[in-house]
Amino acid sequence: MLSAMHFITRHALNFFISSALLIISIVNFDIGLFGLAVLIGGYYMSNKLILTIQKRKRSKELGMTKEEYKHIEAQIKLAREQLNNLTQQYIRVRSIKSFKLLNETNKVAKRIINIVHTNPQKFYAVEDFFYAHLPSAVELADKYTLLTKEQVKGTDIHIALEDTRKTLKDLHGTIENDLKLALQSDIDQLKIELDFAKLANEQSREKIGGGGE
């Protein structure tokens, strides 16, 4: 939700504040290990405070309430954990076809999460991805790898594996649609900018043509 610049700024301020507290402590007190405690404690407290301020400022910039921002942040964190689980599953499958399917699903899901992390307002366009589609993909991948790991031959197992793989393929398509939804506002904005550029170019040509006459 916060950018890399937020991270750098926060920790630079943390270092400055904690160092200043340490210098003040050394000047005013005869300290030993207490100085290290001041440095660590000052760094920790300033980090918490600055992080809170940064998140509050960021939520206001986005036009969100503190609760909305916190909820989306929690959903992104959960989605990253689920994505990590999905990654662990797809490296365990024995079929190359299934590996490719889960790998592609993982890539698309990661793009959606990164897009929402950069622009939290897009969360509302892809809520189903966070609430249903990604969790379902992770759960099915877990069941699929469980079935393949058993190495039990039989019609029922084969049918179950095929059904699971087909459902995973359908979910992959659904998650690809989620990515399109996440990008839709950017695509619409690009179309507007292109139309404006074309109009400006046409008007410029008309002026040049009129001037030549």
94 and 13 in a common domain = no
- Per the structure, the complete domain to which residue 82 belongs is given by 65-212
Task: Provide the mean pLDDT of the chain.
Answer: 80
Indicate if 80 and 126 belong to the same structural domain: yes
| Choice between 84 and 49, residue whose per-residue pLDDT is larger | 84
Query: Does residue 128 share a domain with residue 93?
Result: yes
- How many beta carbons lie within 10 A of that of residue 121, not counting itself? 13
pLDDT of residue 6: 64
Task: Read off the pLDDT band of 61 (50, 70, 90).
Answer: confident
- Within its chain, how far is the Cα of 161 from the centroid? 31
> Percent of the chain, pLDDT > 90?
31
Any idea what the Cα angle at residue 131 is, between residues 129 and 136, rounded to 5°? 75
Q: How many domains does the chain have?
A: 2
- pLDDT winner (highest mean) among 74-78, 187-191, 206-210: 74-78
pTM: 0.71
Pair (47, 83) in one structural domain: no
Is the pLDDT at 1 greater than 70, yes or no? no
- Same domain? 106 vs 28: no
d(CA 116, CA 124): 9
Q: Is 75:130 a contact under the CB 8 Å cutoff?
A: yes
Q: Which of 61, 83, 113 is the last residue of a domain?
A: 61
The predicted structure's pLDDT at residue 74: 94
Q: What is the pLDDT of residues 125-178, one digit of tens each?
A: 999 999 999 999 999 998 888 877 766 666 777 788 889 889 999 999 999 999
pLDDT at 64: 87
Q: Give the percent of the chain with pLDDT over 70.
A: 77
- Tokens 């076809």 -> residue: 97
Q: Are residues 93 and 27 in the same domain?
A: no
Do 39 and 111 fall into the same domain? no
Q: How confident is the model at residue 89 (pLDDT cuts 50, 70, 90)?
A: confident
Shared domain for 81 and 149, answered yes or no, is yes
Same domain, 1 and 95: no
Confidence of residue 35 (pLDDT cuts 50, 70, 90): low
Whether residue 83 sits in one domain with residue 52 = no
Q: What is the Rg, in whole angstroms, of the alpha carbon atoms belonging to the chain?
A: 26
The last residue of a domain, from among 61, 84, 99: 61
Which sign, positive or negative, has the C-alpha torsion 77, 52, 23, 26? negative
Per residue in 108-122, pLDDT (tens digit) is 999 999 999 989 999
Alpha-carbon distance 190 to 199, whole Å? 14
Is residue 108 domain-shared with residue 164, that is, in the same domain? yes
